[in-house]
Structure 1
Amino acid sequence: MAAFVSRMLIAFGSIGLLAMTAIIGWQVFGRFVLNSSPSWTEQASLIMMIWYVMFASAAGVYEGFHIRIALLEEKFGERARPLLRFVAIIIAVIGLVLLVYGTQLCWAVRSNAVPSLGISRAVAYIPLPVSGLLMALFALPQILTGRHPGDDTLHVGGE
């Protein structure tokens, strides 16, 4: 199930990046060809970027494409496992911080509107608590085993 969620987050991030590129393209076209830049494009692309970056970050915890200490894994093998667990604990704590403070931020700005879009500012920050929760959940197997879910074995000596 976690692998499916991770793949969906990556797909969502890819679609978000493409959509943001199209929005920025429309803004450039409007500015230089139509001499009238749409007012909503900048805020829409910024909000979209927050969404896809945060969700891709959560997927990175599961997939292991976030910053890892691969050198330690390769050099020390099984002896690196306690350090890898410690790193996973730090990631889980950061995820919980994002969950708690992201929820508070969404609540605090819920009545503020994004002027050019007419939507609640909280919409921009919803990915913070959601991705924080996912990061914490995705870090749990790493805390318990010292390995990423996709790893068959701990990388030892360039194997």
Structure 2
Amino acid sequence: MDAVKKVLDRVLTVVCVVLFSALVLTVAWQVFARQVLDSPSGWSEELAKYLFIWLGLLGAALVFGERGHIAVDVGVRRLPAGAQRVLAAVVQLAILTFAATALVWGGYRVVVLAWDQNLTGLPVNVGSLYLALPLCGVLVAFYALHHLLATATGAERATVLETDRDAV
């Protein structure tokens, strides 16, 4: 599972860099077309919006996989190691439940509802752009399972100290 996580981390990093680069180029074109050419581009605003959504969701999944999100664990650190592992498991199970219900199932329902809707500025349908939700949910669920198993086996600490973040 660690090998799959490492490959997934690398792929997500590359995808996020590509999405960010495309977002920067799209917004730069939008500003150039509006300010210099005095001819606003209709497609660039829609593309930038959806690039930002995909980048935000995939970037959030990547950061979650690296355990880089903000965590208020002052109270948890005062607990014994066994209680920390139990609480970490409860948290990962809650995250897994949210990812499965809200992102995967809810995202799938949104994709199905919007699949036949067309965008005016882009030659794609809205449903395909909403695929970011269930995809993000699957990624977060995978990372939650990875953290759950790693914490349960002792391969990963229940809490990540500031000095440990570079090692994770």
Q: TM-score, normalised by structure 1?
A: 0.86
- Give ranges in structure 1 of 5+ residues lacking alignment: none
Asked if residue 124 in structure 1 is aligned to residue 129 in structure 2, the reply is yes
**Residue aligning to 2:142:** 137
Q: Per-residue CA shift, 1:51-73, capped at 9, x if unaligned?
A: 11111122222211123345356
**Residue aligning to 2:6:** 3
Q: TM-score, normalised by structure 2?
A: 0.81
User: 1:73–1:155: 8 Å Cα contact kept in structure 2?
Assistant: no
- Give ranges in structure 2 of 5+ residues lacking alignment: none
Cα distance 1:109–1:73, how it changes in 2: closer, same or farther (>3 A)? same
User: Which moved further from structure 2: 62-71 or 6-15?
Assistant: 62-71
Shift of 1:25: 0.7
Shift of 1:74: 4.5
Q: Per-residue CA shift, 1:111-135, capped at 9, x if unaligned?
A: 0011100210012211111110111
**Residue aligning to 1:106:** 111
Aligned-partner Cα distance in 2 for 1:155–1:104: 35
Task: Give the CA RMSD over aligned residues.
Answer: 2.6
Shift of 1:108: 0.6
User: 1:50–1:124: 8 Å Cα contact kept in structure 2?
Assistant: no
Asked if residue 95 in structure 1 is aligned to residue 83 in structure 2, the reply is no
**Residue aligning to 2:87:** 83
How many pairs align? 158
Cα distance 1:129–1:120, how it changes in 2: closer, same or farther (>3 A)? same
User: 1:30–1:37: 8 Å Cα contact kept in structure 2?
Assistant: yes
The percent identity for this pair of structures is 22
